[in-house]
Structure 1
Amino acid sequence: MIALARKTLVYEWRRFVPSVFAVGFSGVLLVMQAALVLGIFGSAALYVTASSAQIWVGYPGTQSVNFGRDIGRDVEMRLRMDPDITAVEPYVWVDGDWRAASTGQGDAHGGVSIYLSGIATEASSMLFARVLQPWQRERLREPGAVIVDQADLGTLGAQEGGVAWINGHRVRVVAAVSGLRGLGGANVLSSLATAREIAGPGHEAGGTYFVARLRQGVKPASVRDRLNQASPAQASFGPYEAWTARDFARRSQRYWMLDTGAGAGVLFMALIVCLVGSVVTSQSLKAVVAASAREYAVLNALGVSRGALGRVVIEQSFWIGALGFVLAAVVSSLLLALAMAYRVPVALTPMAVTLCALLVAVLSLLSGLGAMRSLLRADPASLLR
């Protein structure tokens, strides 16, 4: 009876095409929704994931990277005293107002909210190590030099080599790169000296965060726990809290995903996508079973048990789900490539792909069970009329 399921799919493929497309449609919706969620909220942790630092230190209770508060320079000394830390860098965060103009500050293109990141310019620096090339860091050493994302050039009204003003300070765009697009505002990179000058008095020392690199083989969690250990000596360095890079990235993503209205809206849309996909797939498979009702009734009248017929329906659902997933994978790959070409924030992880595949399999299985239930309830005598 199991061979019957495959032979039916082959010889009556036209009947099953709508079901395959229904499953594929559901898979595409799931994959694209997952890619958008990971891309949009993953950008909230861009500052962490684009850097090679293993430990981040900031003000206690910071919910997301963009909510950082200044901490004292003594914290840097505390990090340098740790035997497992080999390098420390300050990170200066400035909320700024960007104004671009062709002739002067008065003839401005318009104000745009930006996030200015002051970083070290050495070739081995950790911050944004996965985005910047050594020559780009070297360009940042020029007074007033900044780097922006290519996708934000239009928003900022800027171009490479152009001039703009941040909080009234003249800057020049020395390069435009890919991979800096963030959540909530345009990201702009500068040297520590430029960022502190723009930030104004009171920011000559210390930083919003300090990041650290560890010795080879050292577990970041152990260093984090040691840095966070409460003691009178630790308190003398001022208030701070340490996180591993992985924990701080997840902390930022979780805040934007679960603690904001935008995150709740996107997650609600994801649930709607799952519901729509399950309904479409279930109805499509039920239609296939209903169209084959007479054939199943004949087999049942010839002595084939309903349990055996149910197994045929389940295997058909399996093959439909497999074909639908292949279709979804092809279409999703094309859509993701198109989205990346237009710099839409999308991202996928192996875990997300696996979960989408499992959801498609569950949708197909549940739809097959629903179709089998309607088949088992049918009266063979009425079907043969």
Structure 2
Amino acid sequence: MKTLALKTLLHDWRRYAPAVVAVAFSGLLVLLQGAVILGIFSLSSLYVTRSSADLWVGFPGVQSIDLGRPIAAQAEMFIWMNPHVKRVEPFLWGSGQWRTERRGMVNVYIVGVDAADDAMALDDVLTPGLRARLRAPGAVLVDAGDIGKLGLQVGDTAEINGQRVRVVGATRGLRALGGVNVIASLATTRELDPMAGPGGDVAYFIARTDDPKAAPAVAADLNRTGRARGFEAMTDDRFAARTTRYWLVESGAGAAFVFGSITAVLVALVITSQTLAAAVAASLKEFAALRALGFSMGALRGIVVAQAAWVGVAGVALAGVLTVALVAAARSQGVPVVLSGGMMSATGALVVVVALVSGAFALRRVATADPATLLL
């Protein structure tokens, strides 16, 4: 049945091409929607994923890195008490109003990091040269993609919360989600926004362990103490996932993605089922001839289902080629996309299921394949 179905598809490929295109583009739409949405909201966790810390210690229940609340400086002592911890750094998160003569006022987040050459915070982005520049009083960094929003160039001066700052460099790939992030040293951040670290408190402590595999156990150990001391420890990947999930759910983008995916699947289902039904109707004489040769109705239905399965496989192949091309084009233009093997496998399975369900809707036409029509 599978061989006969494949030969039929190859012979009459023009009849089945619309079905292949429909299921392919439904899968493509679902996959790219998910990849772009996750890519956009992964920007919210860049400050976690582009740092080399194994642990993030913040206020209990913090949902996103930008929602950090101050925790007591004494939390650092409890972190150091764990024998697996080898390095600890403060990490500040403040806010302010950026003012320039050309642009006016822009609300910004102020990210305070350790400016040491071997610091963990953003070590995937900040070169020793940039860190050295940050050690100057009032020095800040902005992302190259946000320079236009701020109305200046590297080397220019501006004001944050009424205090003068100088842009000493630009980063790449650290654009903020829904705002502008400004990177400064710990000392500069405390000067620009005293509420970012009142009385020596910090938004987070980040830590590195002697073995990254031990990080979950270290976090669990710290949390037994943290419940009574007002802090919570998380592994870096857990905190990054929590931050992305918060933005995805709270923004409503998750619901929009589900609605868009359901719409794409329904459209593909209608088009594919109608295409397969039309193809079966056009092949009724062939099916009637098979009935006359002794094929059972179940065998004929098996051919239709096999055709639907092959349509699904072809749709997966076409969607895969288009996805690779479009993702490459998106990344070349700096569009953030997150694409995983699990997402592609799930979408491929969805495409095949859509094709099979469409084939099931077309089965009723097979029942009209009567050998007596060959005599007409």
Return the alpha-carbon distance in structure 2 between the equivalents of residues 280 and 134 of structure 1.
57
Cα distance per residue 1:138-164 (max 9 Å; x no partner): 232222222222222222223333333
Q: Quote the offset at 1:294 in angstroms.
A: 2.8
* 1:104 corresponding residue in structure 2: none
Change (3 A) 1:269 1:93: same
Per-residue deviation, 1:262:
4.2
- Structure 1 residues without counterparts, runs of 5 or longer: 102-106
Superposed counterparts of 1:36-185, under 5 Å: 36-99=36-99, 101=100, 107-185=101-179
Aligned-pair distance for 1:218? 4.5
Matches of 2:171 and 2:282, distance apart in 1 = 56
Partner of 1:219: 214
The one-letter code sitting in structure 2 at the alignment partner of 1:48 is: V
Q: Describe the SS at the equivalent of 2:103.
A: strand
Q: How far apart, in 2, do the equivalents of 1:283 and 1:167 lie? A: 63
In the alignment, the residues of structure 1 paired with residue 178 and residue 373 of structure 2 have an alpha-carbon distance, to the nearest angstrom, of 60
Structure with the higher fraction of residues in helix conformation: 2
Q: Does 1:313 align with 2:304?
A: yes
- Out of 177, 196, 203, which is 2:198 matched to? 203
> In 2, distance between residues paired with 1:51 and 1:270?
34
- Cα distance in 2 between the residues matched to 1:382 and 1:112: 79
Relative to structure 1, the CA distance from residue 353 to residue 132 in structure 2 (aligned partners, 3 Å threshold; closer, same or farther) is: farther
- CA distance in structure 1 between the partners assigned to 2:230 and 2:111 by the alignment: 22
Q: Structure 2 CA distance, aligned partners of 1:218 and 1:324? A: 40
What is the distance in 2 between the residues matched to 1:113 and 1:281? 50
Structure 1 residues 337 and 146: CA distance shift in structure 2, 3 A:
farther
Q: Is 1:9–1:316's contact at 8 Å kept on the other side of the alignment?
A: yes
Check 1:177–1:283 CA distance in 2 against 1; reply closer, same or farther (3 A cut).
Answer: farther
Q: Distance in 2 between matches of 1:383 and 1:253?
A: 61
Matched, 1:191 2:192: no
| CA deviations over 1:230-268 (Å, ceiling 9, x no partner) | 58xx74xx4111112122122222222224434433443
Change (3 A) 1:211 1:297: same
Distance 1:5 1:50, change over 3 A: same
Aligned pairs (5 A) from 1:292-331: 292-331=283-322
Amino acid across the alignment from 1:138? A
For 1:81 and 1:258, how far apart are their aligned partners in 2?
A: 36
How far the C-alpha of 1:303 sits from its partner, in A, is: 1.8
Match of 1:350 among 311, 336, 341: 341
Shift of the alpha carbon at 1:363? Answer: 1.4
Q: How big is the shift at 1:316?
A: 2.1
Q: For the residues of structure 2 that align with 1:332 and 1:166, how far apart are their CA atoms? A: 43
Q: Which residue of 1 aligns with 2:244?
A: 253
Assess if the C-alpha contact under 8 Å between 1:84 and 1:218 holds in 2.
Answer: no
Runs of 5+ unmatched residues, structure 2: none
CA distance in 2, matches of 1:205, 1:97: 22
Range with greater deviation from structure 2 (246-255 or 76-85)? 246-255
CA gap of 1:9–1:197, structure 2 versus 1, over 3 A, is same
Q: CA deviation at 1:115?
A: 1.8
Distance 1:383 1:221 in 2: 71
Aligned pair in 2 of structure 1 residues 33, 91: CA closer, same or farther (>3 Å)? same
Q: Deviations over 1:104-141 (max 9, x none)?
A: xxx24032222221111223322222333333222322
Contact map agreement 1:196 1:204 (CA 8 A) in 2: no
Deviates more, 1:257-266 or 1:6-15: 257-266
Q: Which moved more, 1:351-360 or 1:175-184?
A: 175-184
Structure 1 contact 278–363 (Cα < 8 Å) conserved: yes
> What SS class does the counterpart of residue 242 from structure 1 fall into?
strand
Q: CA deviation at 1:22?
A: 1.2
Q: Output the CA distance in 1 between the equivalents of 2:293 and 2:326.
A: 49
Q: Residue 5 of structure 1 corresponds to which residue in structure 2? A: 5
Whether the 8 Å CA contact 2:46–2:174 is kept in 1: the answer is yes
Q: For 1:25 and 1:218, locate their aligned partners in 2 and report how far apart those are by CA, in whole Å.
A: 41
Give the AA of the match of 2:203. T
Tell me whether 325-334 or 285-294 shows the greater mean CA deviation: 285-294
Is the aligned partner of 1:374 residue 2:364?
Answer: yes
- 1:267-300 alpha-carbon deviations (Å, 9 max, x no partner): 4333333333333333333333333233222222
CA distance in 2, matches of 1:216, 1:263: 35
Letter in 2 for 1:85: V
Q: CA deviation at 1:212?
A: 0.7
TM-score (norm 2): 0.91
